[in-house]
Amino acid sequence: MADQHSPTDPTDQYRADHEPEQQSAPGDTTQMAQKPDHGEDTYRGSGKLTGKRALITGGDSGIGRAVALAYAREGADILFTYEEPEEADARETVRLVEDAGRKAVAVPGDLRDERHCQAVVVRAVTDLGGIDILVNNAAYQMSQDGGIEDIDTDQLDRVFRTNVYAMFWLTKAALPHLAAGSVVINTSSIQAFDPSPQLMDYAMTKAAIVSFTKSLSQQLASRGIRVNTVAPGPIWTPLIPATMPEKKVDDFGTETPLGRPGQPAEVAPAYVFLASQESSYITGERIGVTGGRLMP
C-alpha cells in the first residue's frame, strides 16, 4: 500500500505485467509467478479485535490468508481450514499469524463432509476457547467456456458442497457457541449479481450465499449476532491460474473501471470492519470490493 501521506492512483497501484501462468486446482501461492499481496508488509493493526477468536475457512491463501493476517494484527487468535494439498500455503499463514503474536491453529480436511465441518467447530471451541467471528470464505470454481453443457454433475456437486453446504453446516454447528456480539461474515462475489456465463454454477452458489446472509441476519438479530457478506470482484489469488484458461488469466481484472485485479490485502479491511464494533449497527448487508464494477 502507499505511504499514508501521499495519494496513490488506484489504477496504478499493484499494476504489473502478468506473466502467463497456469496451475492445477486448488492452486499454490508459492508457485505463482506474480505473488498476491496479503498485507504482509503493509497491514497495521490498531487493536480492533483484541481478544477475539476467529474461525476462517480457506485461510491458507488468497483472501482467507489476508483476513487471517489482518485479524491477527488486530489482536485475534485464529483457527483456519485448508485442503491437505495446500500444506505449504497453510504453514505460511501460521507463520504470519504467530509473527503477529497470536495463536494459529491450522486444520486440514474436506469441508464437503458435514462431520468434518462439525469437527472444525469443536476444534475452534477447544483450541481457541470459543468462537467470536466465523468467516465462511472457502470456495471452489472451475471455468467452463461451454457453460451449462460443460458442467457435469460431479463439478456441480463439488461447487455447491464447498461453497454452500459447508457454509450452512459450519454456521449451524457454530451457532450454539456464538454469544451476543459475535459475527458471521460470508464471502459472496460480484458473480452473485453479474454472473459470467463460464462460471454459472459458481455464480449460483454466490447468489445463494447472499440470500443465506440476509435470511440468517434476520433470524439472529434479536440474539445480538450480526451476519454480513463481502462481495469481492476479481481478486488475484491462486484460484485464478488454477481454474481459468491462460487467456482469461492474462486478462483477469482488466475489465474493471480501475483496470486491474484487486489484491487480497485490499479486501481484508472490509472483513475487519464487519468483525469490529465499528460496524455494530450493520447486519444483513453486503460490502462490495470490486474495482468499480457496479452491483445492484
Q: For every one of its 296 residues, what pLDDT tens digit does the chain have, with 9 covering 90 and above?
A: 445 566 889 998 887 655 656 556 666 776 677 789 999 999 999 999 999 999 999 999 999 999 999 999 999 999 999 999 999 999 999 999 999 999 999 999 999 999 999 999 999 999 999 999 999 999 999 999 999 999 999 999 999 999 999 999 999 999 999 999 999 999 999 999 999 999 999 999 999 999 999 999 999 999 999 999 999 999 998 878 876 777 778 788 999 999 999 999 999 999 999 999 999 999 999 999 999 999 99
Residue type, 105: V
pLDDT value of position 32: 77
Annotated catalytic residue, options 14, 82, 140, 202: 202
Residue with cell 500455503: 89
pLDDT value of position 177: 98
202 is catalytic: yes
Q: Which backbone phi and psi does 134 adopt, to 5 degrees?
A: -115, 120
3-state helix, strand, coil in the chain (%, to 5): 45, 10, 45
pLDDT value of position 87: 97
pLDDT value of position 238: 81
pLDDT value of position 169: 99
Q: Which CATH superfamily is domain 45-289 in?
A: NAD(P)-binding Rossmann-like Domain (3.40.50.720)
Q: Which backbone phi and psi does 99 adopt, to 5 degrees?
A: -65, -25
* This prediction's pTM: 0.92
Q: Which backbone phi and psi does 53 adopt, to 5 degrees?
A: -125, 125
